[in-house]
């Protein structure tokens, strides 16, 4: 439970820092900002593993890089999109859309690739995410 809570807090802080950067920092420093952010997250993760005496194998590090690189690039392109005239000043809408679409894609991937069963709770979550996406696109 603690790990889940820390993950939620970490995701929220990452999005907060990215949004603050988008509003107050020069666009030329975006890559450096994200590199520092991901390096800090890696160091904190490593520290957590050391404190808990959790040993990891090389293949787990590889999978972390395989998942981390697209995540890094996704946040980079998200930041780039917030600099375009279409999304400038609309970070609340963009972050909500990305989060909602992330839920929908994760559930669909779990169902299609890992054959997870859809529960009523899963379906309700997907329905709410889709409603939010539709309402945001309608301008509410």
| Torsion sign, CA atoms 14, 73, 123, 109 | negative
Q: Are residues 105 and 77 in the same domain?
A: no
The answer to whether 75 and 31 are in contact (CB under 8 A) is no
Q: Are residues 77 and 30 in the same domain?
A: yes
Q: What is the domain range of residue 95?
A: 90-140
Domain boundary among 64, 84, 104: 84
For residue range 93-134, list pLDDT tens digits in order: 787 778 778 878 888 888 898 888 888 988 898 888 888 888
Q: Which two tokens stand for residue 91?
A: 């970070």
* Number of domains making up the chain: 2
Q: Are residues 50 and 105 in the same domain?
A: no
Q: Are residues 50 and 9 in the same domain?
A: yes
Q: Are residues 76 and 96 in the same domain?
A: no
User: Has residue 140 got a pLDDT over 70?
Assistant: no
For residue range 5-55, list pLDDT tens digits in order: 777 787 788 778 777 887 788 888 888 888 888 898 889 888 988 998 988
Q: Are residues 95 and 59 in the same domain?
A: no
Q: Are residues 29 and 78 in the same domain?
A: yes
Domain boundary among 69, 84, 99: 84
User: Has residue 90 got a pLDDT over 70?
Assistant: yes
Q: Which position has the higher pLDDT, 69 or 2?
A: 69
């Amino acid at each position: 439970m603690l790990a889940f809570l820390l993950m939620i807090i970490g995701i929220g802080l990452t999005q907060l820092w990215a949004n603050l950067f988008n509003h107050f920092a020069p666009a030329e420093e975006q890559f450096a900002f994200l590199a520092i952010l991901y390096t800090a997250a890696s160091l904190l993760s490593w520290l957590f593993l050391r404190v808990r005496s959790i040993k990891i194998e090389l293949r787990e590090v590889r999978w972390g890089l395989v998942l981390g690189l697209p995540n890094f690039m996704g946040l980079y392109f998200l930041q780039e999109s917030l600099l375009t005239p279409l999304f400038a000043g609309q970070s609340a809408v963009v972050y909500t859309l990305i989060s909602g679409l992330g839920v929908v894609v994760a559930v669909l991937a779990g169902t299609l690739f890992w054959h997870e069963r859809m529960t009523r709770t899963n379906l309700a979550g997907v329905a709410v995410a889709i409603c939010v996406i539709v309402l945001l696109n309608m301008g509410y």
